[in-house]
Amino acid sequence: MLTITKKAALRKRLKAISATGQTIGLVPTMGNLHAGHLKLIDSAKRNSDFVVCTVFINPLQFGPGEDLSVYPRTLDEDARKLAAARCDCLFAPSVKELYGSNIQHQTTVHVPELTGMLCGKSRPGHFDGVATVVNKLFNLVRPDTAFFGLKDYQQLLVIRKMNVDLGLGVEVFGIETQRESSGLALSSRNNALSAEQRERASLIYQCLVDTADQIKLGKKNFTDLEQSATLCLQEAGIETDYFSVCEAGNLQAATERSTELVILAAAQVGSSRLIDNIRLDLDD
């Protein structure tokens, strides 16, 4: 596996790869890789000829008081996992390499509509940071395909809209969430949970499943379902940011006529902010 830290070196290598007619797949990450990330690598390997995984902890998507300074940095272990997964190239730039010397004056990308709700409401500017770094990586790598986890569902919709609006031409794949045996979605932030907190956090997924089951049985009072799930989490000592039943395509509040739904949750367990979702199609 190639390991590259400089933009110029990456461009040179990928230009040579493209010249041979090979397709390039991109897997952007912030490192501290787990089985969910490796599933993205596997999907990229099956859908492209040459896979680039980026490991970059993006400061633009962290707000004041968030966990940028303590976010786990495990580059050596990440590299070993990527090599074992047969990733072709690891791109691990410094902040200065990717953003230049003055990140405060960085041109940013704003995706309207999707970024002012849910996680965007409680984390102002977060999705501008996500869209900016992904746009940079798309322009730098020029991938044919890119792979993101469906756990970060709102992020995926933001990236897809940016990709279409800016005419970037990348085929964006959403890959199913990988879970622990309890149902807890895999996340780098799970590492900060104690055994008791990890067990308690599994209730997030249980509430998503229970809500989906009730909707399948015909219950359409989504506000009541949201409130019931929120109360269940709060009674378990889980501070809930939101628990929302939305239209899967645009994240607007679901109505009785909605058929393609996504149920999303964000909650605080200990020092970790955890997100998860379940999608369901009522026409199936």
Residues annotated as catalytic are 37
Q: Which residue has the tokens 């690598």?
A: 41
250: its two tokens: 């645009």
Give dist(CA 116, CA 275) in Å, integer: 17
The Cα 65–Cα 62 span in angstroms is: 8
Nearest to 49 by CA among 71, 79, 27, 17: 17
What 8-state DSSP symbol labels residue 70?
A: T
Q: Cα separation of 34 and 187, whole Å?
A: 7
DSSP state letters, 106-132 = ------TTTTSSTHHHHSTTHHHHHHH
